[in-house]
Structure formats: C-alpha cells, structure tokens
C-alpha cells in the first residue's frame, strides 16, 4: 500500500532538528551518508541538503543535496563547448545522493525531490551562471530512469554514468508546468 504524501514537504536540512537515524535505504552507502555525514557537509557549506518530511514529523523520509561544480571543455556536450570555450570550463550544479526511505518507495516522494532539485537549480542559475544540472547515476538501471527526466549522458564521461540536464530543458519543463504538478503545496510552517 502506498503512503499518503499529501502532507510531505521539502525543506533545507536543519541538522539539529531533523531526525536522520531512522532513514532506511536499500543502498547502504546512501543510508550511511544520510544518517552520519550529510549534516557535517551541510553545516560546513560543502553541500546544501534538502530533506522531505511528512507533516509535522521531523523524520527524514527523503533527501538530496546540491553543490556547485565545473567541467573541462569537451566533457559534457558540443553546445556547452561552444558556449563556454572562452572561459575553458562549463559551470554546473551537481545533484548528489537523491534518495527515498524504503517505506516511501513508489509513493511519489522521489519525483517531488527531483522537481524540487530542478526548481532550486533554476534559482541558482538566476544568481550565477550555470549550464546544467549534473549527477552520477549509481548504475545502468538508474541511467535509464534518469533519461525519463531527459537527462543525457556526458559525451566524454569516465564511467558512462555521468549525466546532465541542460538548464534550457529544465526551464522549458517548468514553463510547461510539467514540474509544478510534482511539487506539494508548501505548508505554512515550512519556511
């Protein structure tokens, strides 16, 4: 039976308040990161972490993080090479370790997290130049999954799991309201 996600909201991690110890995920590395490390990197501004919580609960039922990165010319795609050749680097936002608690798999929380990450990427792009949202898929199965969101593989990736979604594609999806339907209404208390 799928969980009701009508009260799920996504907010920036509050390390001292959000409860991470109960986060369960089938990928041990991701589970351990959420439970033990995400707060350190968030508090040190190495990453900006966002968590999904259900209603008034502070239990983390999903999370992702973003950080800034750049890639050498020739790695992502031809349009980025042309656009950033003068500066010799392609600026991007990196989406790391997006995950959902095992009890919420298939409920839509993952799509909500992805939509939130895409919206946040456009907010970052409004303040600083960026070409795309990038990520490293965990395996080939996830590469195929992310392709459903129109992510593409790097033309010169090292593993074949490096992917990107150009900012123009994100903006077009938002303009077409495709992403808005994935986001929940923002509760009053979720500043």
Average pLDDT over residues 42-55: 97
* Lowest-pLDDT choice from 1-5, 163-167, 186-190: 186-190
Number of domains in the chain: 1
Residue 150's pLDDT is what?
92
Total-model pTM: 0.89
Supply the range of the domain harboring residue 139: 8-179
Residue 190's pLDDT is what?
34
Give residue 129's pLDDT band: very low, low, confident or very high (50, 70, 90): confident
CATH of the domain at 80: 3.40.630.30
Q: Is residue 122 part of a domain?
A: yes
Give residue 186's pLDDT band: very low, low, confident or very high (50, 70, 90): very low
Answer yes or no: is pLDDT of 39 > 90.
yes
Residue 170's alpha-carbon distances to 16, 81, 129, 174, in angstroms, are 33, 19, 14, 6
Q: Is residue 59 part of a domain?
A: yes
Q: Is residue 191 part of a domain?
A: no
Per DSSP, the residues of 16-70 read TTSB-TT---SSHHHHHIIIIIHHHHHHTTSSEEEEEEETT--B--EEEEEEEEE
pLDDT digits (tens, 9 = 90+) for 165-176: 999 999 998 888
């Amino acid at each position: 039976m799928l969980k009701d996600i009508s009260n799920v909201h996504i907010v920036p991690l509050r390390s001292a308040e959000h409860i991470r110890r109960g986060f369960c995920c089938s990928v041990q590395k991701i589970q351990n990161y959420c439970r033990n490390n995400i707060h350190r990197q968030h508090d040190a501004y190495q990453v900006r972490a966002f968590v999904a919580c259900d209603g008034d609960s502070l239990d983390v039922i999903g999370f992702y993080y973003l950080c800034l990165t750049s890639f050498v010319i020739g790695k992502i795609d031809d349009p980025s090479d042309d656009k950033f050749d003068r500066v010799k680097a392609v600026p991007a936002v990196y989406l790391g370790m997006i995950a959902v608690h095992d009890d919420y798999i298939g409920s839509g929380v993952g799509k909500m997290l992805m939509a939130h990450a895409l919206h946040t990427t456009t907010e970052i792009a409004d303040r600083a130049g960026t070409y795309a949202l990038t990520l490293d898929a965990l395996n080939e199965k996830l590469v195929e999954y992310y392709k459903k969101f129109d992510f593409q593989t790097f033309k010169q990736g090292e593993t074949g799991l490096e992917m990107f979604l150009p900012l123009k594609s994100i903006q077009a999806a938002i303009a077409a309201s495709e992403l808005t339907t994935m986001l929940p209404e923002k509760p009053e208390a979720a500043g």
